[in-house]
Amino acid sequence: MSDVLDLLAPGARLARPDLAEQALEGLVRARAYRATTARGCAAAVVDILAAPGGERIDQLIFGEAFDVLEDRDGFGFGRARRSGVVGWVELSDLTSAASLRATHRVAVAQAQVLAGPSGGAEVMTLPLNALVCEHERREGAVRIMQDGWIAAAELAALDIFDADPAIAAERLLGAPHSLGGRTALGTDCCGLVQQALYACGRAGPRYAVGQAEAGQGVDAPARGDLVVWLSSDVGVWGGHSGVMVDDETLIHAAGFHGAVVVESLAEASASYAAEGFAAPVFRRV
């Protein structure tokens, strides 16, 4: 199991004993090497799986890049470029690299894409931090695809960010807890923190181990700081994390509560201590 988790870890080398990406030739041992093909996520949300048809370990969202190393039975094996997570995605949800040019990101929890600038049928709903390209602007709406318009007020230019991670995390308040998710339709704890960091223009480690090393450690937490409880017993997630709302309260996607909730730090710490998690660490990003 540890070998599987090592392969799936964010930033893991895109390599297996039988196949590795071309850039690793001479650096890692494999029976064959192959160049990756850059693809873009064309669906609102796409699951990244540990194996074809297997456990969900992450998600791609619209506009994110996925570098495909291998095609197999309708699935692509590769790495999510934004987060570094290695896994499998359905190829039917990906499009060509030409789609990867972005000018804006979605700045709200969920943004409707409609058929026309003043309304019409719903084309899809995009999650927070989806990456889109402006093709035309009319009547307070932006065309991001053929016959697909989104309210300009729901977008932010790529150099406009939230002031602190708590702002973005609060947008997802009430979202269901769902392992491997990171949208308002369902998110795990680390996915919530990652999305909050992206909204602030920060690197967003996907799992707790990386989040426990983000920024600088602090002893006295304040609003916007990350809080992480590490554990070796929760698979690839590596622990539990949240964002501090103030020095005594956090927002997190809690399996205990089944949703993204605001809770006192003391109560959360007691719950995770009872489950054998390490004492919390606080990181200022």
Q: Compute the distance between CA of residue 158 and CA of residue 204 in angstroms, rounded to an integer.
A: 15
8 has a pLDDT exceeding 90: no
Q: Give the total number of structural domains in the chain.
A: 3
Q: Is 50 exceeded by the pLDDT of residue 214? A: yes
Same domain, 90 and 179: no
Residue 246, pLDDT above cutoff 90: yes
126 with 37, same domain? no
Clarify whether residues 169 and 260 are in a common domain: yes
- Domain containing residue 74: CATH number: 2.30.30.40
Do 88 and 145 lie in a common domain?
no
pLDDT of residue 2: 36
Share of the chain above pLDDT 70, in %: 95
pLDDT digits (tens, 9 = 90+) for 139-166: 899 999 989 999 999 999 999 999 999 9
86: domain range?
2-98
The per-residue pLDDT of the chain, averaged, comes to: 93
pTM of the model: 0.91
pLDDT digits (tens, 9 = 90+) for 172-213: 999 999 999 999 999 999 999 999 999 999 999 999 999 999
pLDDT in tens, 69-102: 999 999 999 999 999 999 999 999 999 876 778 9
198 and 220 together in one domain: yes
Domain boundary residue, one of 82, 98, 114 = 98
- Out of 3-7, 135-139, 235-239, 265-269, least confident range: 3-7
Read off the pLDDT of each residue in 50-58 and give the average, rounded to a whole number. 94
For the cut 90, the answer to whether the pLDDT of residue 236 exceeds it is no
The reply to whether 186 and 153 lie within a common domain is no
Q: Which pLDDT score is estimated for 155? A: 98
Whether residues 31 and 67 share a domain: the answer is yes
The per-residue b/e assignment along 229-240, b for 16 or more CB within 10 angstroms, e otherwise, is bbbeebbbbbbb
- On whether the CB atoms of residues 91 and 75 are closer than 8 A, the answer is yes
> Residue 255 is part of a domain; what is its CATH number?
3.90.1720.10
| pLDDT attached to residue 235 | 84
Q: For residues 148 and 195, state if they share a domain.
A: no
Q: What was the pLDDT predicted at 12?
A: 65
**Residue 13 sits in the same domain as residue 28:** yes
